[in-house]
Amino acid sequence: MHNLPFIKMHGCGNDYVFVDGFETDLPRHPAKLAIKVANRNFGVGSDGLILLVPVADDTADVEMRMFNADGSEGDMCGNGVRCVALWMARQRRISELCRVRTKSRLVTATVSPLSADSNSGTVSVDMGAPVIESADGTTECLTDISLPGQSESPPQIEFTRVSMGNPHAVIFNQELSDRNVKLLGAAIERHSTFPNGTNVEWVNIVSPTELQVRVWERGSGETLACGSGACAVGVAAVLRGVCRRGEPIGISLPGGRLEICWKPEGHVLLTGPATVSFVGTWHGGVA
């Protein structure tokens, strides 16, 4: 496949190259393709690759496969789900509700009414119930983080472990500095405590209804936003008594603002923008 049509979309700057399997043959080597298209100097430039896969039965409207910038396949991507739902609505395949099957779970997205050929919209996703994986339900502690050229004692990092269909380590009471996010984030992602790696969120408490967050994504590094990460942060904040369950929580990220609500019945609702940046054709091979 030498010419591969694609769509570039993003949710709060968390950007992906999308291939629509309803309209074109899907690539045979998506992991290799993800590495190439994600390159911001020699590719399209993105946080990864997402495939829209037609579903043969009636259990979902579309299957979403997500590949990180390093070629690893992700379990879940909240921003990706919002973009997929927006595109499905824009192509008139769904009206308002879009059932998206991901690697880890089936989620339902609600797309706000779109004008004809709209390139952006607000999408809410029922992300399902979180899995609280920290031993005592709130915090764990890392004391043996190894950093390059480290001469001082390893930092002690308290975190809350939450799964939204993918793993997250949520950290409060630490600076949202480049050192923490990039250096420590990379070390925590690969720490032996997380056999399959983890996403890492650094949180600054602005108020009981507003949190400031930076994200280190497993397989992609720092990104401008992370939808599942925003959900994990909101859940962790409720567990720690910072925020209240059942009330909207604003999550401010470098790329924009998301809103989450951990419903009393258990599910987490994620709301935010999705935007089509452009469409194009990939001529770079490995399809």
Which residues does the annotation place in the binding site for substrate?
A: 14, 68, 78-79, 166, 199, 217-218, 227-228
Annotated catalytic, 243?
no
Residues annotated in the binding site, as ranges?
14, 68, 78-79, 166, 199, 217-218, 227-228
The whole-angstrom separation of Cα 75 and Cα 171 is: 21
C-alpha distance from residue 25 to each of 22, 128, 143 (Å): 8, 31, 48
Beta strands in 71-119 (DSSP E): 73-74, 97-101, 106-111
Dihedral (CA of 119, 124, 127, 128) sign: negative
185, 216 contact by CB (below 8 A): yes
Annotated catalytic, 226?
yes
Sequence-ordered list of residues with C-beta below 8 angstroms from that of 81, at least 6 positions apart, any chain: 64, 100, 102, 107, 109, 123, 125, 227
The DSSP H or E segment spanning 187 is helix 185-189
The whole-angstrom separation of Cα 251 and Cα 142 is: 25
Of the candidates 83, 98, 226, 261, the residue annotated as catalytic is 226
Q: Residue 159's beta-bridge partner residues?
A: 140
147, exposed or middle or buried, with CB in 10 Å at 0-12, 13-18, 19+? middle
Of the candidates 77, 231, 243, 261, the residue annotated as catalytic is 77
Tokens representing 2 are 């030498």
Q: Residue 251's beta-bridge partner residues?
A: 211, 258
The whole-angstrom separation of Cα 232 and Cα 1 is: 39
Produce one character per residue of 95-132: b if its CB has 16 or more CB atoms within 10 Å, e if not. eeebbbbbeeeebbbbbeebeeeeebbbbbbbbbbbeb
Tell me the catalytic residues.
77, 226
